[in-house]
Structure 1
Amino acid sequence: MKRSGPTQQGEALRQPIGTAEIRVLVITAADLLSREHPMQRATEARRMVLARKLTEGTYPQHEALLTAMPVIEREITAPEYALLLRRVADQLDVRADQALHGIALDVVRILMDADRDRAAAKGARR
């Protein structure tokens, strides 16, 4: 039987998202890569496909996740890349009153810009 409405995951992705949710997506990506054969290669193309798959390509989640996931510029195995992703997840584990640096700051900027754009669009519809 085919579903006629949006999926629960799709609906969740349309809601405002925060750094904690991006952190969960990074950890999920690391978990998926950790299950692969130890010699399986992580490539930039696979990084992009994984980010699209986890976010269904939805803005700003997709852009924030791609920003959080380090670009793959050299040959690396999937488990090695999973370890890098876990390090990024640690950087995204921030409190509301904590000063942000590096990847966490970049992700927060994307999410804040999206929130501002969403609020502006909502105001324009009134």
Structure 2
Amino acid sequence: MVDRIALAPCNGMSPNGLVSRVAVGDCRNENDNAISICMGSTSADIEGKNDEMLKKYPIVAVNGCPNGCVNKILANKGIDVAGTVAVNEILEGFDVSARDPFRLDSEAEECVKIIKDELTKTINKIS
């Protein structure tokens, strides 16, 4: 059993990037063993100051789009992820979508709930 699981959300400027960040925030607030990682700080850390922290807990990458940037950034740091949630792929199976990269409407809030549920399942699998 692990103490904590780190959630690494997409920081991209797409509607699903926003869904990723809000879902991670909500999931973190509802799960005592979840923490979140700032991917901007992670990718900018060329000195490796964050490396020890990144290796402390299992990480779930939460990618907004098919580019998989979160996984790529972590791989470039030598970090293997414990799980990946692909927001765009998961939402394909539902009749809702986010349309704005800056604001959530009621449909985008439904997307957040779907992704948060998927994150909770992933956390439970890893724990």
TM-score by length of 1: 0.28
Select the structure that is richer in strand.
2
More helix by share: 1
Q: Which has the larger radius of gyration?
A: 1
